[in-house]
Structure 1
Amino acid sequence: MQTRLLTYDEFKETQLSPKRVEDSQPTDDFWDYVTAIPAEDFGIFDCREGQVTHVYRMGDQYEHVLINSQFEGVAMVIVTSLADQSVFGHFLLDVNPPGTRPPEETA
């Protein structure tokens, strides 16, 4: 399966009037896509548990499905297209302040 790592600018272009939703349904190939993401796209972060706690609808075009990592504030975002019910791409989102290091790197 082909995956697409979004650039920061591509990811930002999919953020349109975010609204958290509870009624999202994953695309048919959602988990196959997640499994196909290359390990290097995750960096040091581990999202293998597949824990989804937040889904944001971006207007009527996209949904951002956040798969949590082992660290707070870091998630792999799977961007899905609502128009054709397919995965648009993925982006590793880190909302921690710049310069924050994962706990095991802290001295």
Structure 2
Amino acid sequence: MEKQLRLVGSARTEQGAAHRELSPEERQRHFRNVMGSLIQGAQDSWGDIWQEFQGNVVENVVVHPSAREGFTPACGWPEFLEKMWILKHHLDHAKRLTEKGSL
């Protein structure tokens, strides 16, 4: 069964209203909000990864001697590697946004 989709716009867009330019203060506020979200995501990912090491590999900052036998994450390797990838993703975007000429 086919379903017809239609694009829904705002009343301002349909009337052809021009978009206003953001002030420097508004741009700065938006930038801080985006960066805050990216950094929070990175911290959450790091916390998930660090939690995987707790108990089996490390106790706070001390590595257990049994860690020489190898490490297997409780969540499984696919999920653990996905968490690592998400952390990299957040850090890459934060770096890209803060580089000169990115805005």
Question: TM-score, normalised on structure 1?
Answer: 0.21
Question: TM-score, normalised on structure 2?
Answer: 0.21
Larger Rg: 2
Q: Which has the higher helix share?
A: 2
